[in-house]
Amino acid sequence: MIYLTLYVMISYMKNKGFKNQLAERIRTTRNNLGYSQEEIAKKMGFHRPTLSQIEHGEREVSAEDLTKLAMIFGVTIKDLIGDNKSPPPEKENKPRSETDIVVTFLRHGEAIDDVYDQYGGWADPEMSPRGINKAFQIVSNLKNNGVNFEIIYCSPLKRARQLAEVIGRELRTDVKVMQYLKERNTYGLLSGINKSIAKKRFPELVDAYETGKYVLGSERENDFLNRIPLIFDYIRQQKYKNICCVTHGKVLTAIIKKILGMTPSDLAEGCMLRIGVEANGYYFIQSEGIVFTK
């Protein structure tokens, strides 16, 4: 499969149209993840102008460089070349009915546990400087698009609350905590521990996590999935029609799969999902920074 992927990739690279498409995907993926050209160029061993040429289709990308870019971005080669992706459903700009509720879900940016390579889950670190910078980028995008909210709900964890508070302050909107938006506690007792340290001190817990077994103190998958509909039960009980919910990656993934019946392959930091909530159902409206598979 790896050799087939490389064969397809190299074949595509000879096509000028694909070259421009690849340049756009690299540039968009980098921006969605909140990296500067300088940061990625340094990781690649380039000077910044070299990466700029790649992102504008002015320079060839070798198979080795593309593989390295995919690893840095945390995606697959096929994600970058677009070989297995279909576009998300057609965008709808407004609710189908005046009684529908529009909910905008936002994922927080990078947190300190990412910087120090710690297990997340219910660990409660603050956002990193890069995550805070992403928060202001999100607010800027909301303002530029004329978006406002009647209320902002957020997870009780600091990294989500910080983003919610930045948005609330800038848009002058009240922020309230909703427990159902809390991240899944996948890691149990490992939460907040550096991964290398955990492997040495608690190998049995790490082994349980890596082999898909129950990790002591973690939230079982069925319990987690059963609380996802409670988000919408809560929302329907309120008086608001235009709502923002600031949450986490696993919650967003579960909403996309369980509520919308779609399959995401990548969720960037700070990504957005907007859906309509009807009396007896849901529908996709818009997304940014989320890649869907067929």
- Which positions are annotated as active-site residues? 108, 183
> What are the tokens at 88?
């998300």
Residue type, 230: L
- As a whole number of angstroms, the distance between CA 60 and CA 209 comes to 40
Question: On the CB side of 37, how many CA atoms lie within 13 Å of its CA?
Answer: 12
Angle between helices 158-171 and 129-144 (to 10 degrees): 40
Largest CA distance in the chain: 57
User: Which DSSP helix (H) or strand (E) runs through 43?
Assistant: helix 37-44
- Between the CA of residue 186 and those of 110, 116, 124, 159, 201, what are the distances in Å? 18, 18, 14, 17, 19
Of 229, 231, 286, 246, nearest to 151 by C-alpha is 246
**Region of 181 on the Ramachandran plot (φ > 0 left; ψ -120 to 50 alpha; else beta):** alpha
What's the DSSP call for residue 74?
T
Of 57, 54, 58, nearest to 46 by C-alpha is 54
Residue type, 288: E
Contact 246, 154 (CB under 8 A): yes
